Structure 1
Amino acid sequence: MYVSCFLGPTGRGPADDLPLIDFCIEMGIEADKAGFALVNVGEQHFTNYEPYSDPFVIGGILARELERAWFGTTVINLAYHNPIRLAEHLNLMDLLTRGKCFLGVSTGHLPFFSSQFGVPENYRKETAFQRLDVALAAIAKDSGDPPLAWRTDLEQGTLALRIMPIGYRTGHPVVGFATNTDATIAKAGGQAWPVALGRYNLVESARRMKVYRDALQAAGHPQDAVDECLALSSVTKAIVIADTDEQAWQLAEKQLRGFMNFTCSVATRRELDDTRSMKELWDDTVPGPVDISHNTFTAPEWIQASAVIGSPETVARQLRAYEEAGICHIDARFVYVTSTPPKHGAASASSPTRSCPASAPRRSPVRRPSASVPSTASRRRPGACRGCSGEPCQGRHAAPPGWSTSHERRDRCQPVRHRRRPRRRRPLDRRRSGTGRRHERCRRCRVTRLLPQHLPPTEPGAHRMTASTIVDVHAHHLPERLGQAFTHLSGRPYPLRHKEDHSRRLAGLDEAGIDQQILGTCAIQPYWPDAAAAAEGARVANDLYAQMCAQVPRFHAFGAVPLPHTDAAATEAVRCLDELGFAGIGLGCSADGVTLDDPSLDAFWSALDERSAVVYLHPGVRNDLALGVSEYPMLLGPVFGSPPRKLSHCHDSS
């Protein structure tokens, strides 16, 4: 089963906006480290709920931080988005995440909130579908295509150029529906789009997912598309977990009561007046399916449809029941920060409750505000206390409800400082050099091709190339026994002295923040006149690198080939790529006086071209192609060892 982490805190008012946005970013990073499959955000406005409001902005921030987890939206509300701007935003998120994003959209809306954006009263679900169709048609349009005239019930226009930026995936990004209706669930299955389902109990969740599975099967989609859809399709749950069931229910009483009232107020504009404890509401079992997408749900229905509460063993048992019912993915929320719902049109001033200690990230940049935050916070003078209406204070304030004694150090008065916070140390690929330019060394090594995969592994530790892996592609590794073999076969001295103890090399990779390394002979190639000796030298080198790659999963290799002997080089290249699983073929700039664009090597290039192979070209020089800079021997000849006209021809033909 896959588990997502949903970033959906609720604040008390404007003073909480920035701390909670910082908290969401840090929680997303920690969720990625913990092995969650997706980090999901939503789109809310005006209610103090999900204060970042724009899922694309928060997604752009997280795209550079998430290493394994996908980024997801549950959901983007189509009522608030122009279709052409939506197309740009979808492509932008797809590009920034290197294709590792699921963009869930919603066709429904709450008239009270959409009216704040000027959405007319006649806005219908059909209009949302029209906007989505226009956005996807715009994404599919190339700059050379005829102008695209588009129209919805609310707007119209003509797209003459292309959508910028281009998307990362072929076709369009992974788009799906967040829905509570069987018709839209079946529509998503027919189009091979994932679905993000709402809050239901086990019986209703299994029924809704069966509707989706049946639609997928009836449409006859390829199995890999079905697998990806099921992996990304989720049911939403609020999870409260503690060491024991009793402690978990105590936390639920503090956390979920306010969240239940808040969601009821936003969705139905009414308040639940059931005063029983959360455990009593849970025990008041509602027979049969429970769906709280309607406006008349009761408190027992809400908690039974929404929550998973208990010790780790209890929570695991409940989630396992969903997995056995055919549900592959849970969209889990862990943070609840409100205790009373806001009035419509007014900000809430309720006190926050502590997020679940067993599930919330250990590190958080949130500076939790004290019990009373005045509206004049932005006008306090330096040295004023955040909890004393702007006046200097020497004392301490009482902890807000639900905080334990472990949080006492955060209860002290926090003076307002009118200066920027110290900046965190930049990652290696973001540091600036002494010239003021961005340091790009490591970023250039990123693998930008999305390898075939449905979701990243939910458990960290697997060293495999992904869209966010940092790879050193220029790694000289020339062991002593390779030098001995080359010396014996060629009759030339090869004093190679690299150690085969990889501990120092791996420590250096860790220190530099590099995930993997591609080994190769680089400029030391078996380019010898004797074809048999050259072929044997290449075979010995490749077998040695294959052995090292098998011992250290972080190592890959570029294969060596016996050029200029075309047939032997093609045979060894095929063995490296098809049998040994090398990352590509490493070449020098010329082979025993034969340049790489020589017609005699055409058969070798054809063998590589048939496999769309990666070729690594190691720079070098040829003194017989001197440019006349005799006082600088290393500058003699073009850096790639071929005349410029031949280099141009080689580049064009590739």
Structure 2
Amino acid sequence: MSPQAALRINMTGLDPDPAREADRYQAALEMAVYADENGFDVVNLEEHHCAENGWLASPLTLASMIAARTKRIRISVTALLVTLYDPIRLAEDIAVIDLVSRGRFLFTAGMGYRPIEYHATGRIWSDRGRLMDETVETLLKAWTGEPFLYRGETIRVNPKPFSTPHPLFLIGGQSRAAARRAARFGLPFYPPEHSADLESAYLAELKRLNKRGFYMHPGTGNSMVMIDPDPDSAWPDLAPHMLRELQEYTTWRQAGVPRPGEESVATVEDLKKQKRFEILTAEACRDQLISGQRQVAVLHPLAGGIPVDRGWSMLRAFSEEVLQPVRAMHSERR
């Protein structure tokens, strides 16, 4: 299989100047268009609320903009915090994005792990399991286009999505309850990191219920890639932005909620050791993809407030000096 290229957009690195923040959001949209036109496979969005660092809080809005401006790239939200939405409005909004994108939209349904997000959106934290079940059930019924009973009244939701039988979505989470939920609804299960125990629990529950589904997880070694001709000199420039993103993420740690990337990070040496971000020359990245050492290259050009011009430089270098040559080589081998 040809190596995959993903563009990550999460809008970390909030700029206090609204004009400069507007520039960043416009750049994110234009970068998604560029990725679409230059062979990237997917643009990945995220959702978090009440983040000091400005994490993307409105992924469906941005996804709809990207859908309207692109032709072929898949648009993913990982994870969409579905329990924070009205289920009917969520079904309608996703159906519209699915229609505009002609089936290119997909998402991982999550319920988050931060009580403040529930408080901010008027939801009750202790109800999150029930809210998740109700929301998933409602989405599946709403997207049939047929009447169904909803909170005591029969309703019908339009428009019907482009995708059949519904837009692709996976159930996220890293618990046995999440694995059982995915199996119960006959949906794919996507934990944030591999767990043999959860995989076994999910597959066993699918078999018990005579349901179909599949298990998948992010690939190992899936670090974010920055392209620079001189990585050693780039680290002092880019590290503060990487730290800005990762340090806030680590403050969201919740007891009993396992997450990938929980290690504390305070210095450039921590960054290099943990390899959640890597700064590579184009040649080094190209070699990793050709050898199979790296299956997916995830570009994160605006991470933590990286200046827009610097982000564009890295994105173009990856496209022109890495992705295009690698794809050409794979085409010749076929």
Report the counterpart of residue 23 of structure 2 in structure 1.
19
CA distance in structure 2 between the partners assigned to 1:310 and 1:213 by the alignment: 37
- Is 1:337 the equivalent of 2:323? no
Relative distance call for 1:59 and 1:49 in structure 2 (3 A) is farther
Find the residue that maps to 1:359 and give its secondary structure.
Answer: helix
Quick one: higher RCO (CA 8 Å, sep 6+), 1 or 2? 2
Following TM superposition, the consecutive aligned residue runs of length 4 or more in structure 1 with deviations greater than 6 angstroms are none
CA distance in structure 1 between the partners assigned to 2:196 and 2:27 by the alignment: 33
2:140 to 136, 143, 146: 136
Find the residue that maps to 2:138 and give its secondary structure.
Answer: helix
Letter in 1 for 2:44: N
Find the residue that maps to 1:124 and give its secondary structure.
Answer: helix
Find the residue that maps to 1:240 and give its secondary structure.
Answer: strand
Structure 1 residues 209-258: Cα deviation after superposition (integer angstroms, max 9, x where no partner): 896599569958xxxx86xx76xx64563222211442343444243222
1:116 to 113, 120, 138: 120
Relative distance call for 1:329 and 1:296 in structure 2 (3 A) is closer
CA distance in structure 2 between the partners assigned to 1:247 and 1:312 by the alignment: 15
Report the counterpart of residue 260 of structure 1 in structure 2.
246
Report the counterpart of residue 264 of structure 2 in structure 1.
298
CA distance in structure 2 between the partners assigned to 1:188 and 1:244 by the alignment: 45
Report the counterpart of residue 242 of structure 1 in structure 2.
228
Deviation at residue 3 of structure 1 after TM alignment? 2.4
2:157 to 147, 159, 163: 163
Relative distance call for 1:183 and 1:113 in structure 2 (3 A) is closer
- Cα contact 1:192–1:216 (8 A) shared by 2: no
Report the counterpart of residue 312 of structure 1 in structure 2.
282
CA distance in structure 1 between the partners assigned to 2:87 and 2:53 by the alignment: 25
**Percentage identity across paired residues of the two chains:** 16
Relative distance call for 1:328 and 1:141 in structure 2 (3 A) is farther
Where do residues 441-452 of structure 1 align in structure 2 (5 Å cutoff)? none
CA distance in structure 1 between the partners assigned to 2:131 and 2:82 by the alignment: 9
Report the counterpart of residue 469 of structure 1 in structure 2.
none
Report the counterpart of residue 38 of structure 1 in structure 2.
42
Relative distance call for 1:54 and 1:254 in structure 2 (3 A) is closer
CA distance in structure 2 between the partners assigned to 1:52 and 1:256 by the alignment: 16
CA distance in structure 2 between the partners assigned to 1:303 and 1:184 by the alignment: 31
Report the counterpart of residue 78 of structure 1 in structure 2.
82
CA distance in structure 2 between the partners assigned to 1:263 and 1:11 by the alignment: 14
Where do residues 626-637 of structure 1 align in structure 2 (5 Å cutoff)? none
Find the residue that maps to 2:135 and give its secondary structure.
Answer: helix
- Cα contact 1:292–1:301 (8 A) shared by 2: no
Where do residues 208-247 of structure 1 align in structure 2 (5 Å cutoff)? 208=195, 212=199, 234-235=218-219, 237-247=223-233
CA distance in structure 2 between the partners assigned to 1:116 and 1:311 by the alignment: 42
Deviation at residue 111 of structure 1 after TM alignment? 0.9
Report the counterpart of residue 610 of structure 1 in structure 2.
none
Relative distance call for 1:253 and 1:93 in structure 2 (3 A) is same
Deviation at residue 101 of structure 1 after TM alignment? 1.4
Relative distance call for 1:238 and 1:95 in structure 2 (3 A) is same
Relative distance call for 1:141 and 1:183 in structure 2 (3 A) is same
Relative distance call for 1:250 and 1:217 in structure 2 (3 A) is farther
- Cα contact 2:169–2:187 (8 A) shared by 1: no
Find the residue that maps to 2:241 and give its secondary structure.
Answer: helix
CA distance in structure 2 between the partners assigned to 1:179 and 1:330 by the alignment: 24
Relative distance call for 1:53 and 1:38 in structure 2 (3 A) is same
Report the counterpart of residue 176 of structure 1 in structure 2.
170
- Is 1:193 the equivalent of 2:193? no
CA distance in structure 1 between the partners assigned to 2:285 and 2:204 by the alignment: 31
Q: TM-score, normalised by structure 2?
A: 0.73
CA distance in structure 2 between the partners assigned to 1:353 and 1:2 by the alignment: 24
CA distance in structure 1 between the partners assigned to 2:290 and 2:196 by the alignment: 16
Q: How many residues align?
A: 303
Where do residues 575-594 of structure 1 align in structure 2 (5 Å cutoff)? none
Letter in 2 for 1:359: M
Where do residues 454-603 of structure 1 align in structure 2 (5 Å cutoff)? none
Which stretch of structure 1 is more off in the superposition, 94-103 or 207-216? 207-216
Tell which structure's C-alpha radius of gyration is larger.
1
2:315 to 360, 363, 367: 360
Report the counterpart of residue 131 of structure 2 in structure 1.
127
Deviation at residue 5 of structure 1 after TM alignment? 0.8
Structure 1 residues 563-599: Cα deviation after superposition (integer angstroms, max 9, x where no partner): xxxxxxxxxxxxxxxxxxxxxxxxxxxxxxxxxxxxx
Find the residue that maps to 1:103 and give its secondary structure.
Answer: strand
1:60 to 57, 64, 67: 64
CA distance in structure 1 between the partners assigned to 2:274 and 2:258 by the alignment: 10
- Cα contact 2:250–2:264 (8 A) shared by 1: no
Letter in 2 for 1:255: H
CA distance in structure 2 between the partners assigned to 1:99 and 1:31 by the alignment: 18
Report the counterpart of residue 148 of structure 1 in structure 2.
149
CA distance in structure 2 between the partners assigned to 1:35 and 1:295 by the alignment: 29
Report the counterpart of residue 553 of structure 1 in structure 2.
none
Structure 1 unpaired stretches of 5+: 150-156, 199-204, 270-290, 340-351, 363-457, 461-654
Structure 2 unpaired stretches of 5+: 208-212, 318-325, 329-334
Relative distance call for 1:17 and 1:158 in structure 2 (3 A) is farther
- Cα contact 2:53–2:245 (8 A) shared by 1: no
Letter in 1 for 2:21: D
Relative distance call for 1:295 and 1:306 in structure 2 (3 A) is closer
- Cα contact 1:8–1:42 (8 A) shared by 2: yes
Q: TM-score, normalised by structure 1?
A: 0.40
CA distance in structure 2 between the partners assigned to 1:335 and 1:189 by the alignment: 36
Structure 1 residues 528-583: Cα deviation after superposition (integer angstroms, max 9, x where no partner): xxxxxxxxxxxxxxxxxxxxxxxxxxxxxxxxxxxxxxxxxxxxxxxxxxxxxxxx
